[in-house]
């Protein structure tokens, strides 16, 4: 049965996005690629927040942290720390450079069409892997909540994104992303506040996180540590991963964040280098509103899951749930919670009665009582089920679905922009068809965007059959960190960096990182032969240094860049030197 | 373009501005490193002997504290850069 509130929220928010798209049509290539270069820093910060926070941030991250405990910190630090690198090392300088795309900078700074084309390949690869995951998220949300098939869900999502991305380009995307940010942050925090009240008695999740468990004088985390270790899990605030691996994964996510083209291009839309710096600060503030709540939600969800599900008496028959639950309570037992029953059919929760006692044992690998684990929750369940766990009204549940869709669609739109501008601007206008008029470039951009929407939808539909989609994190961030970050960074901070060095660095980062991830994820490589014990998720950080080393070495043995290029680097370091571009 | 510096900042000012920018960037990135990789990963166990509210300090730094510090770092950067631009006559 489809909840009318869910339909209400989804239809209302989608209508809003379409309304904004019609109001914010692009009139020129400048509008289409960079929203006219005049977006306010706060507005851009908000748009960046939505652009950045994907279906994974919204739906999966809190659940991942709930299972990993301290181990989940890599995502929290990695996906926020990258903004410090962006603000201090890249965004203001790239804005001062003042063009349209990341390959634009690479092509101009390294005076080379080949460098530009390699950068296009990196940007396209990163963006397509990333977008497939978003479309899949849209399909899941629709099929799970709106009673349509997975593929129809993706088609609806494609139609919406097509509408505002193709029509409005970056201008349309910017203002829809602002609306999507508001929807997603509201949908995330409202249930979080109530679940914090339930578990800790404090309405502010960040304070509940460091506070006491409700009605006791024991710290919430201290209690959680005891609860999970008693069941044979690792202590919540610890990890069994090596320090080096945790460090490398965190760093790969940070440098990858800073090198992701769809994040960087958002900073081309503001008016100046100074505005770009400010905007990065606003972006991190808007992101932090979700990212500081997520670990609290993770811990609360884990605690609540153990409290309500472990040792509960299972009720197989959903029809007579209330009757059976009352009987169990009367016998002094604990019935399986109602939210569990209503989510069970989605396949996000699984119970297998291994010892045949009808009681649900939730156990870790080292359970002191030697019992086997019988309950397997998926990581996406916690954010989705939070409103029901906290006994919130139905309208909140519908809101969470709309929030998840907002997160997925806004990220997908930002990625589409990277794909369309890489094709129409970098491949056509700047490389193969330089005599193209602005009007035909705009048409090419729209056709490329339309084609990219279509391809993204196909990727989403076949996502379950394509193994790399699930590994998107390792690929997208590793490649962005090892291939794009080094040459952008060196291009700004080292005048001597030349064309040969840049091409060598990009190829080194791309090939080594791709091969390593491919070998250990799909090629049958075993974990004990990891280089320095670094997992594929963290290897981008190691090969980033290799790429930087190769880039510097090759530059030093080849001729320095022309005087005009060294002047260009000087000018992007000093705000205002390049005039109002 | 030799005439550019007649209206814009002088060559000496540009050089001094860039030097100060690099020093500021390096300083803030050291704190960035210490707050995340230092407090949240390398010295986590040692910091876990202390606590903030009911949370072990190292764990809290990794899950919440580092994010607040990142935010403060960008705010300081924006303020200091604007001051540097005023000082050296950079348009900004």
Q: Are A67 and A302 in contact (CB under 8 A)?
A: yes
Nearest-angstrom CA–CA distance, A382 and A309: 13
> DSSP label at A72?
G
> First-to-last CA distance in chain A?
54
Q: Are A581 and A543 in contact (CB under 8 A)?
A: no
Q: Are A543 and A255 in contact (CB under 8 A)?
A: no
The answer to whether the CB atoms of A80 and B52 lie below 8 A apart is no
**pLDDT score of A393:** 81
**pLDDT score of A579:** 62
φ, ψ of residue A349 in degrees (nearest 5): -135, 140
- Cβ neighbourhood burial of B11 (10 Å; 0-12, 13-18, 19+): exposed
Average pLDDT on A428-435 reads 82
**pLDDT score of B2:** 43
pTM confidence score: 0.92
Q: What angle do CA A468, A473, A475 make, to 5 degrees?
A: 60
Nearest-angstrom CA–CA distance, A255 and A257: 5
Nearest-angstrom CA–CA distance, A71 and A250: 10
Q: Are B85 and B92 in contact (CB under 8 A)?
A: yes
pLDDT band at A145 (very low <50, low <70, confident <90, very high): confident
φ, ψ of residue A376 in degrees (nearest 5): -125, 100
Which of these, A83, A123, A76, A131, lies nearest to A101 by C-alpha position?
A123
Q: Are A275 and A95 in contact (CB under 8 A)?
A: yes
Nearest-angstrom CA–CA distance, A354 and A522: 32
The answer to whether the CB atoms of A576 and B73 lie below 8 A apart is no
pLDDT band at A163 (very low <50, low <70, confident <90, very high): confident
- Helices A150-200, A438-461: inter-axial angle, 10-degree rounding: 70
Average pLDDT on B59-86 reads 96
Say yes or no to pLDDT of A66 above 80.
yes
Say yes or no to pLDDT of A148 above 50.
yes
**pLDDT score of A42:** 95
Q: Where are the domains of chain A?
A: 4-21+31-300+394-573, 301-380
Nearest-angstrom CA–CA distance, A237 and A70: 5
The two structure tokens encoding residue A398: 């519908």
Contacts of B86 in chain A (CB under 8 A): none
CA distances from residue A227 to A223, A231, A376, B17 in whole angstroms, order as listed: 6, 7, 17, 55
The pLDDT tens digits of the residues spanning A535-562 come to 888 899 999 999 999 999 999 999 999 9
Average pLDDT on B41-69 reads 93
Nearest-angstrom CA–CA distance, A342 and A293: 25
Q: Residue A117 half-sphere exposure, CB side, CA atoms within 13 Å? A: 7
The answer to whether the CB atoms of B62 and A280 lie below 8 A apart is no
- Reduce the DSSP state of residue A309 to 3 states and report it: helix
- Reduce the DSSP state of residue A38 to 3 states and report it: coil
**pLDDT score of A581:** 47
Q: Are A449 and A420 in contact (CB under 8 A)?
A: yes
Comparison of pLDDT for A346 and A38, the residue scoring more: A38
Average pLDDT on A344-351 reads 81
Average pLDDT on A294-318 reads 90
Please give the biggest Cα pair distance in chain B.
Answer: 63
Nearest-angstrom CA–CA distance, A464 and A469: 8
**pLDDT score of A467:** 54
**pLDDT score of B3:** 42
Say yes or no to pLDDT of A469 above 60.
no
**pLDDT score of A532:** 81
Nearest to A574 among B32, B66, B90 (CB): B90
Contacts of A254 in chain B (CB under 8 A): 36
The pLDDT tens digits of the residues spanning A484-517 come to 999 999 999 999 999 999 999 999 999 999 888 8
pLDDT averaged over every residue in chain A: 88
Say yes or no to pLDDT of A521 above 80.
no
Dihedral (Cα; A57, A63, A64, A67), 10-degree rounding: 170
Which of these, A559, A459, A518, lies nearest to A138 by C-alpha position?
A459
- ipTM beyond cut 0.85: yes
The two structure tokens encoding residue A462: 């076949």
Which of these, A95, A300, A77, A280, lies nearest to A195 by C-alpha position?
A300
> DSSP label at A7?
H
The answer to whether the CB atoms of B74 and A83 lie below 8 A apart is yes
CA distance B78 to chain A (A): 6
Nearest-angstrom CA–CA distance, A536 and A196: 35
CA distances from residue A530 to A53, A147, A461, A521, B41 in whole angstroms, order as listed: 30, 44, 33, 11, 20
Say yes or no to pLDDT of B10 above 90.
no
- Domain made up of A4-21+31-300+394-573: CATH architecture: Up-down Bundle (1.20)
CA distances from residue A330 to A228, A325, A334, A458 in whole angstroms, order as listed: 28, 9, 9, 53
CA distances from residue A560 to A247, A470, B71 in whole angstroms, order as listed: 35, 42, 38
> DSSP label at A356?
S
Give the other-Cβ count within 10 Å of A157's Cβ: 26
Query: Best interface-test mutation with B: which of A65, A68, A87, A199 has the largest number of B CBs within 10 A?
Result: A87
pLDDT band at B92 (very low <50, low <70, confident <90, very high): low
Which of these, A248, A384, A290, A399, lies nearest to A52 by C-alpha position?
A290
The pLDDT tens digits of the residues spanning A231-249 come to 999 999 988 888 999 999 9
**pLDDT score of B42:** 94
Query: Best interface-test mutation with B: which of A200, A206, A237 has the largest number of B CBs within 10 A?
Result: A237
Chain B residue with minimum CA distance to A563: B1
pLDDT averaged over every residue in chain B: 90
The two structure tokens encoding residue A109: 């700074």
- Helices B66-87, A73-85: inter-axial angle, 10-degree rounding: 0
Nearest to A88 among B8, B25, B54 (CB): B25
Question: pLDDT > 70: what percent of chain A?
Answer: 97
Nearest-angstrom CA–CA distance, B75 and A207: 23
Nearest-angstrom CA–CA distance, A174 and A497: 34
The answer to whether the CB atoms of A281 and B14 lie below 8 A apart is no
* Full DSSP string of A196-231: HHHHHS-SSHHHHHHSBPTTSSSBHHHHHHHHHHHT
The pLDDT tens digits of the residues spanning A369-380 come to 888 999 988 877
> Count of A–B CB contacts within 8 Å?
145
Which of these, A536, A542, A533, lies nearest to A509 by C-alpha position?
A542
pLDDT band at A1 (very low <50, low <70, confident <90, very high): low
Give the burial string for A250-284 (b: 16+ CB within 10 Å, else e): bbbbbbbbbbbbbbbbbbbbbbbbbbbbbbbbbbb
* Highest averaged pLDDT of the listed ranges A78-92, A209-223, A335-349, A402-416: A78-92
CA distance B60 to chain A (A): 8
**Total length of chain A:** 581
Q: Which of A10-19, A73-82, A382-391, A554-563 shows the lowest mean pLDDT across its residues? A: A382-391
Contacts of A72 in chain B (CB under 8 A): 63
Cβ neighbours for A489, distance < 8 A, ≥ 6 positions apart: A89, A90, A548
Nearest-angstrom CA–CA distance, A185 and A109: 38
CA distances from residue A327 to A10, A309, A312, A334 in whole angstroms, order as listed: 39, 17, 13, 10
* Highest averaged pLDDT of the listed ranges A268-272, A429-433, A456-460: A268-272
């Amino acid at each position: 049965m489809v909840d009318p509130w869910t339909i209400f929220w989804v239809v209302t928010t989608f209508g809003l996005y379409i309304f904004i798209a019609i109001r914010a049509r692009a009139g020129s290539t400048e509008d289409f690629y960079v929203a006219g270069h005049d977006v306010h820093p706060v507005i851009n910060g908000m748009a960046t927040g939505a652009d950045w926070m994907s279906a994974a941030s919204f739906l999966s991250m809190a659940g991942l942290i709930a299972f990993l405990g301290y181990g989940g910190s890599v995502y929290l630090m990695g996906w926020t720390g990258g903004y410090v690198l962006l603000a201090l090392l890249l965004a203001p300088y790239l804005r001062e450079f003042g063009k349209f795309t990341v390959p634009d900078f690479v092509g101009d700074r390294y005076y080379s069409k080949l460098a530009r084309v390699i950068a296009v390949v990196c940007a396209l690869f990163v963006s397509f892997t990333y977008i497939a995951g978003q479309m899949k998220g849209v399909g899941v949300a629709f099929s799970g909540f709106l009673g349509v098939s997975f593929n129809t869900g993706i088609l609806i999502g494609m139609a919406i994104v097509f509408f505002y991305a193709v029509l409005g380009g970056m201008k349309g995307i910017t203002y829809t992303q602002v609306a999507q940010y508001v929807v997603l942050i509201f949908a995330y925090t409202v249930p979080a506040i109530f679940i914090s009240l339930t578990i800790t008695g404090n309405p502010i999740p960040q304070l509940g996180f460091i506070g006491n468990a409700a009605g006791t004088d024991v710290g919430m985390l201290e209690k959680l540590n005891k609860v999970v270790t008693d069941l044979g899990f690792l202590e919540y605030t610890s990890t069994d991963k090596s320090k080096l691996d945790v460090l490398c994964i965190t760093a790969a996510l940070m440098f990858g964040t800073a090198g992701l083209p769809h994040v960087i291009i958002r900073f081309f839309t503001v008016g100046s280098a100074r505005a770009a710096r400010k905007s990065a600060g606003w972006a991190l503030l808007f992101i932090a509103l979700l990212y500081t709540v997520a670990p609290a939600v993770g811990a609360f969800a884990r605690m609540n899951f153990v409290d309500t599900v472990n040792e509960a008496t299972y009720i197989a028959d959903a029809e007579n749930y209330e009757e059976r639950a009352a009987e169990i309570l009367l016998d002094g037992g604990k019935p399986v919670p109602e939210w569990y029953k209503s989510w069970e059919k989605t396949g996000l929760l699984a119970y297998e009665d291994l010892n045949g006692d009808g009681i649900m044992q939730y156990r870790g690998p080292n359970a002191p009582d030697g019992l086997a684990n019988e309950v397997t929750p998926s990581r996406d369940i916690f954010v989705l089920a939070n409103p029901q766990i906290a006994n919130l009204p139905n309208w909140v549940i519908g809101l969470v679905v709309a929030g998840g869709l907002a997160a997925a669609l806004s990220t997908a739109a930002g990625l589409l922009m990277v794909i369309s501008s890489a094709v129409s601007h970098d491949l056509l206008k700047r490389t193969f068809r330089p005599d193209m008029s602005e009007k035909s470039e705009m048409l090419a951009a729209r056709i490329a965007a339309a084609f990219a929407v279509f391809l993204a939808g196909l990727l989403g539909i076949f996502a379950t059959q394509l193994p790399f989609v699930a590994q998107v994190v390792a690929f997208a961030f590793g490649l962005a960190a090892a291939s794009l970050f080094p040459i952008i960074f060196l291009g700004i901070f080292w005048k001597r960096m030349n064309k040969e060095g840049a091409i060598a660095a990009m190829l080194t980062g791309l090939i080594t990182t791709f091969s390593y991830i491919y070998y250990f994820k799909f090629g049958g490589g075993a974990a004990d032969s990891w280089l320095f014990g670094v997992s594929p998720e963290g290897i981008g950080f190691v090969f980033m240094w290799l790429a930087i080393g190769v880039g510097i070495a090759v530059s030093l043995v080849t001729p320095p860049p022309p005087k005009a290029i060294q002047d260009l680097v000087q000018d992007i370091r000093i705000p205002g030197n390049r005039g109002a571009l | 373009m030799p005439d550019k510096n007649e209206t814009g900042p002088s060559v000496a000012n540009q050089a001094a501005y860039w030097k100060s920018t690099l020093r500021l960037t390096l300083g803030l990135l050291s704190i960035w490193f210490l707050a995340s990789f230092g407090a949240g990963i390398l010295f986590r166990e040692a910091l876990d002997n202390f606590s903030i509210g009911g949370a072990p300090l190292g764990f809290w730094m990794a899950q919440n504290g580092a994010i607040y510090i990142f935010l403060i770092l960008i705010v300081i950067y924006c303020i200091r850069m604007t001051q540097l631009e005023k000082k050296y006559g950079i348009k900004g």
